[in-house]
Amino acid sequence: MKMPHGIMKKLPEDVILCIFLRIPVKSLMRFKCVSKNYYTLLQSTTFINLHLNRTTTVKDEFILLKRSFKEDINQYKTIFSFLSGDGDHDYLNPIFSDFDVPNMTDTQSIIFDQLIGPCHGLIALMDDFTTIIFNPSTRIFRLLPPSPFDRPKGYHRSIKCLGFGFDSVVNDYKVVRISEFLKDDCYGYVQVEEENVEIYELGIDCWRELNHVNQQFPTIFWVPCSQIFYMGTFHWIAQSVILCFNMSTEIFHHIRMPDPCHNIRNHSLVILNESLTLICYSSVAPTSDPIEDLMEIWILKDYDVSESWVKKYTIRSLPIKIPLAIWKDNLLLFQNRSGYLMVYDLRTDNVKELNIHGCPESMRVAVYKENLTIIPSGSESSTPVHKF
């Protein structure tokens, strides 16, 4: 949208506000340079929140794709691709140049990292040691400081799971990390001695330990796309349940999985029709056993009510390695066993391989809408923000 600055100056402020809410973020960033008044308006919390919560449609959705390529023995290159659809799901168009992701280069990073979000406008890329928070619209990112808490002497630390979400009560973003301390017994067997929960708050740039946790966690599966932030709560796939952590109350609870899903090997969490959705699938090569080659998609109709699971789809014979996301409420994006990005239409049963490739199991997807959300920087001594 092009409009002479002279005409804009004559318009009432509420009209200018309505115009800005309809302008792409790339153009809004340019308007910041036009005048001090525009800069102040576009940087204000009021406008940023209005822009974040404006009415949008699936046509306003974009795809952030993370994938990796092998460069050397135990050395990988990880990139972000920023993509949009043109109404035809057979084609994804890059809207920015690919960006090399720093600090995510070894084997552990590309297989066990997690892409989480969007969460109140921001997305997190995380592994055992590194957390990168970024806004894909402004392409601003921040590398978070590592936890200062060390393992007790004589113990090993194992990270069980990671999470990222927004606490609407204190109006801040939080990172949560669950770990366990292990110790070899007198026979050489490893024993879990203690479990530990750590919280990092971006707004105050501080790690702390959660002391009121007095429960034993279920077995949590660290697999791609097995976690999601939804309804102010973070969710992880665990043994027969979904482990939940409320970002505001900082209390854990769980949601039981549907009984038929207990016998299916792999599970992923996505959002479908604005509801928490469980994908149950097998990632092994096709077999003659129809049960082994089955995918089921279950929707939780009433959040936090385990009895409200409803099976929405049953799908057979997809060459799926990992499900990535459901886009536009009918397009299942997944990486196949050869490493290619594929799309399956839940309404028509059409499946197509796209010309986008990465190392097997390295792809992650986040579906996002443009926003101007600013990454909290905490204090002057906190880690700085950068631009892709």
Residue 173 confidence class, pLDDT cut points 50, 70, 90? very high
| Cα dist from 174 to 205, 265, 310, 387, whole Å | 10, 31, 31, 21
Mind listing the pLDDT tens digit for each residue in 328-347? 999 999 999 999 999 999 99
* Dmax (CA) of the chain: 81
CB 83 within 8 A of CB 373: no
Residue 257 confidence class, pLDDT cut points 50, 70, 90? very high
Residue 107 confidence class, pLDDT cut points 50, 70, 90? low
Domain(s) of CATH 2.120.10.80: residues in the chain: 56-378
Q: What pLDDT sits at residue 378?
A: 67
Helix (H) or strand (E) holding 179: strand 172-184
The span from the CA of 280 to the CA of 268, in Å, is 7
Percent of the chain past pLDDT 90, that is, above it, reads: 51
Mind listing the pLDDT tens digit for each residue in 335-382? 999 999 999 999 999 999 998 999 988 999 999 999 999 998 766 656
Strands 340-345 and 233-237, sheet pairing: unpaired
> Into which CATH architecture does domain 56-378 fall?
6 Propeller (2.120)
Q: What pLDDT sits at residue 221?
A: 87
Burial class of residue 95 in the structure, from the number of CB atoms within 10 Å of its CB (0-12 exposed, 13-18 middle, 19+ buried): middle
Q: Is the pLDDT of residue 268 over 60?
A: yes
Residue 243: name the closest of 255, 231, 232 by CA.
255
The span from the CA of 304 to the CA of 245, in Å, is 12
Q: Give this prediction's pTM.
A: 0.89
Which residues sit opposite 220 in a β-bridge?
238
Please, what is the average pLDDT of the chain?
A: 86
Mind listing the pLDDT tens digit for each residue in 109-168? 677 789 999 999 999 999 888 899 999 999 899 999 988 887 777 777 888 899 999 999
Mind listing the pLDDT tens digit for each residue in 295-330? 999 999 999 999 999 999 999 888 999 999 999 999
Full strand arrangement of the beta sheet holding 156-167? 156-167, 172-184, 190-201, 206-209
Mind listing the pLDDT tens digit for each residue in 8-23? 666 788 888 888 999 8
Residue 209 confidence class, pLDDT cut points 50, 70, 90? very high
Q: What pLDDT sits at residue 170?
A: 94
